[in-house]
Structure 1
Amino acid sequence: MNDAPLIVHLIYRLDFGGLETLLVERINRMPASAYRHAIVCLTDFNPAFARKIMRADVTIHALHKQPGQSPGTHVALWRLLRGLRPAVLHSYNLSAVEYGPAALLAGVPVRVNGAHGRDHDDPHGTNRKHNALRRLMVPFYDCCYANSAAMDTWNRDVIGVPAHKSRMLANGIDAERFRPHAPGEVALPEHWPFEPGHLVIGTVGRIQAVKDHAALIDAFALLRARLPHLPLRLAIVGDGPLLETMRSKVAGLGLNDVAWLPGARTDIAQILGSLHVFAMSSIAEGTPGSALEAMASALPVVGTRVGGIPEVIDDGVTGMLVPPSDPEAMAAALARYAVSPELVARHGAAGRERVLCNYSMTAMVAAYQGMYDSLCERKIKTRGAVTSCAE
């Protein structure tokens, strides 16, 4: 029987997405002798995505939270935590930050909240109500980390997270899985609609407002108008609440024959290996895992100058940065790659080298385990008792 300390990961919903993918990677890669894991979903989970978890001892719980305040969810979580008796509660983003008090009342010794990005309705973190909640919750957590330097600075300067509770934990990428492939080395993805001679611009991520796929579609339409002689194609891969809206937009612009929106896919590495350029049109981001996966696959990345994207993309070296919600600027950047295969190859190679040097999966897992180790050592082993959340 494994008596390693239990970590409960509290997340809004377990489904296809960057944050969720890296959560599963950390669970799969962290030594079983170090920590056990359970995932608590405030709403629900996607069974297809849950199958990515390779450890048989990981349990998943769904609280089926309804929209709004839902005070009963706090009680349900408290009861669940009392039964699970974890050493660590690790909550993710604003949607789960308010449950720190329930974890304290349930006797969870170590409580951690991670800032992995912002919502589309508050891309710059200026919502007073949201920030007041974040400030109110800081005393209930032992660590409030961020996954980008920009978010970490905002945590400290705007939310007031003290230095001893602040950390920056960068995302990591599996550079063996995401890597460039020689022509013909890997078969094309299933149902891939494009021909070998097509120049495919693509993106991968949840289809939601914060990703602003509408701007990318508009940019692609502008690009085709500028370069009508090139066989340009667009792939937008991912599921989400705006998938049908984006499909309708594509149809309305007459792009059905040149754009592909297949929904959620499990063969992302294979899809990235079939692209030529990667694009990110987000209006807010933490450290963008999808951009790092693209860079590991030796793709140049055109991304918006928001959040942690400029920390990842070296402008003019591994890709290009453009203003958010500016289809004209994105089309201009994409056009530079469309007419220069040499630039695509040079920036793509530089991007992979940057990932290998700065964003390894091994380093990410070690950093998270180090955080858990140090907090558990201070809060549990050394003192042998639960300490005040306000220390």
Structure 2
Amino acid sequence: MIALMSLAAEGTPRLALELSREWIAVGVQPIIVVMQGSPNDLASDFEALGLERITLNLPERGYARYLILAFQIFRIARAHRPAALLSMSLGWHAFMAIGARLAGVDRIIAHVGNYPDASTGNAFRKFKFLVQFGRPFTDSLVCCSQYVRAGTVLHFGVKHSETAVIYNGLPTAFSRCDRKPSRRTNEAPFIIGMVARLEGHKDQPTLIRAARILKTRGRNIRVWLIGDGSRRHELELLIDAEDVADTVELLGMRKNVVDLITQMHLFAFSTTSDEGFGIALIEAMAATVPVVASDVGACREVLDNGRLGTLVAPADPAALANAIDAVLADATIADARAQLAQQKVASAFSMTDMARGYSDLLGLPMPETSPDFAA
């Protein structure tokens, strides 16, 4: 059983979709449990795999929803008898785990996709309580990077032995993507892209402000911001305030991310220290698109301390603009790094290895884990 918050066309649901493909190929049939009925961008993709999908539609507010969640997971688990539960929603997993344990589910793990934000006061204390509350019922917290694992141990107060690291894997569509982005002519704009949720743990505002600097310098650029989220209106206002409506486009949630990334000349991953991994980051690396990213723990880990892409000070529009300008002036070094980055993705961020890693923890049948799997 895989539990998701929604079927939005974003990182975690896309990972669940790809994991399902891998498991189906070896005879494991996932059941998908979704807590919210919308957004459901990937519903047709899950349906195409023939997966049973159960939508809970929990109340939006009130403590009763936690008990409702535990009861519904108990009822579903009693009816379907899954061998294991993978919760891809941290915090909520505590009540899922209780319901699953009462129904006799043997193995329960939860995915940790972001570095814990301990600066949010009561919100973090509540989150930490939920993680602690779920500890007796959860076999492992699976972190998407060593950086996230360190934060999970430090801020949530769990033992190192209660965690594991499994890097996010490259989606199948990108594993077949070997087309290098086309070089622009003098007249064509230089396309800078970022794929990420429009939420507080990302930092599109810095990229928008960097676009303003580049526009002022007379650079012929276009910035594509791909994704959706609660900050969309805020970003629309900022785009107008910075006078870059002719330069920065909010493309919304897209399912053709492969096509869009392969059209980019540069991938700008402007993010915060809450970043856990960045699936879109390895997608750009797989497509040999040069990367400029914020110098935060997760990006530093994925980009091998800058060997595979340019790292710039976070929340610094001028530093980001200067790094982009350097690629505009001479892409030789950036292209060399992009080639190394593609090799790193092939060796370290395999979807098959990700599925093997989760299978080991969940007790599911899979071929033996390859040496690339980081546990």
Would you call these one fold, judging by a TM-score over 0.5?
yes
Tell me, yes or no, if the aligned pair for 1:93 and 1:117 is still in contact at 8 Å.
no
5+ residue gaps, structure 2: 367-375
Distance 1:68 1:322 in 2: 42
Distance 1:151 1:209 in 2: 17
Q: Could you tell me which residue of structure 2 aligns to residue 231 of structure 1?
A: 220
Kindly tell me the number of residue pairs found equivalent between the two proteins: 359
Deviation at 1:37, TM superposition (A): 0.7
Give the structure-1-normalised TM-score.
0.83
Greater shift in the superposed pair: 112-121 or 101-110: 112-121
Tell me, yes or no, if the aligned pair for 1:28 and 1:55 is still in contact at 8 Å.
no
Give the structure-2-normalised TM-score.
0.86
Relative to structure 1, the CA distance from residue 247 to residue 179 in structure 2 (aligned partners, 3 Å threshold; closer, same or farther) is farther
Q: Could you tell me which residue of structure 1 aligns to residue 149 of structure 2?
A: 152
Q: Could you tell me which residue of structure 1 aligns to residue 133 of structure 2?
A: 136
Q: Could you tell me which residue of structure 2 aligns to residue 386 of structure 1?
A: none
Deviation at 1:324, TM superposition (A): 2.7
Is 1:271 the counterpart of 2:272? The answer is: no
What is the aligned counterpart of 1:312 among 288, 302, 321? 302
SS of the counterpart of 2:85?
strand
Is 1:89 the counterpart of 2:89? The answer is: no
Distance 1:138 1:303 in 2: 34
Is 1:295 the counterpart of 2:291? The answer is: no
Deviation at 1:55, TM superposition (A): 5.3
Deviation at 1:292, TM superposition (A): 0.2
Tell me, yes or no, if the aligned pair for 1:299 and 1:347 is still in contact at 8 Å.
no
Relative to structure 1, the CA distance from residue 357 to residue 25 in structure 2 (aligned partners, 3 Å threshold; closer, same or farther) is same
Relative to structure 1, the CA distance from residue 90 to residue 176 in structure 2 (aligned partners, 3 Å threshold; closer, same or farther) is closer
Relative to structure 1, the CA distance from residue 231 to residue 125 in structure 2 (aligned partners, 3 Å threshold; closer, same or farther) is farther
Q: Could you tell me which residue of structure 1 aligns to residue 74 of structure 2?
A: 78
Relative to structure 1, the CA distance from residue 293 to residue 46 in structure 2 (aligned partners, 3 Å threshold; closer, same or farther) is same
Q: Could you tell me which residue of structure 2 aligns to residue 245 of structure 1?
A: 234
Q: Could you tell me which residue of structure 1 aligns to residue 57 of structure 2?
A: 64
Relative to structure 1, the CA distance from residue 356 to residue 110 in structure 2 (aligned partners, 3 Å threshold; closer, same or farther) is same
Distance 1:85 1:47 in 2: 26
5+ residue gaps, structure 1: 1-7, 189-193, 377-391
Deviation at 1:90, TM superposition (A): 1.0
Relative to structure 1, the CA distance from residue 158 to residue 122 in structure 2 (aligned partners, 3 Å threshold; closer, same or farther) is closer
Relative to structure 1, the CA distance from residue 118 to residue 154 in structure 2 (aligned partners, 3 Å threshold; closer, same or farther) is closer
Is 1:28 the counterpart of 2:21? The answer is: yes
Distance 2:246 2:27 in 1: 51
CA offsets 1:156-213 (integer angstroms, 9 cap, x no match): 34434344432110111144334333649xxx9xxxxx99721111101222221121
Deviation at 1:146, TM superposition (A): 0.5
Distance 2:49 2:162 in 1: 32
SS of the counterpart of 2:175?
coil
Which aligned pairs between 1:336-355 and structure 2 lie closer than 5 A?
Answer: 336-355=326-345
Q: Could you tell me which residue of structure 2 aligns to residue 44 of structure 1?
A: 37
Q: Could you tell me which residue of structure 2 aligns to residue 379 of structure 1?
A: none
**What is the alpha-carbon root mean square deviation over aligned residues?**
2.9
Tell me, yes or no, if the aligned pair for 2:23 and 2:29 is still in contact at 8 Å.
no
Deviation at 1:321, TM superposition (A): 1.8
Distance 2:325 2:118 in 1: 30
Aligned-residue sequence identity (percent) comes to 24
Relative to structure 1, the CA distance from residue 143 to residue 58 in structure 2 (aligned partners, 3 Å threshold; closer, same or farther) is same
Deviation at 1:26, TM superposition (A): 0.9
Relative to structure 1, the CA distance from residue 134 to residue 182 in structure 2 (aligned partners, 3 Å threshold; closer, same or farther) is closer
Deviation at 1:272, TM superposition (A): 0.8
SS of the counterpart of 1:127?
helix
CA offsets 1:318-366 (integer angstroms, 9 cap, x no match): 2122233222322222222122122332222121122122112222222
Tell me, yes or no, if the aligned pair for 1:235 and 1:261 is still in contact at 8 Å.
yes
SS of the counterpart of 1:210?
coil
Distance 1:103 1:245 in 2: 40
Is 1:106 the counterpart of 2:103? The answer is: yes
Tell me, yes or no, if the aligned pair for 1:211 and 1:281 is still in contact at 8 Å.
yes
Is 1:219 the counterpart of 2:210? The answer is: yes
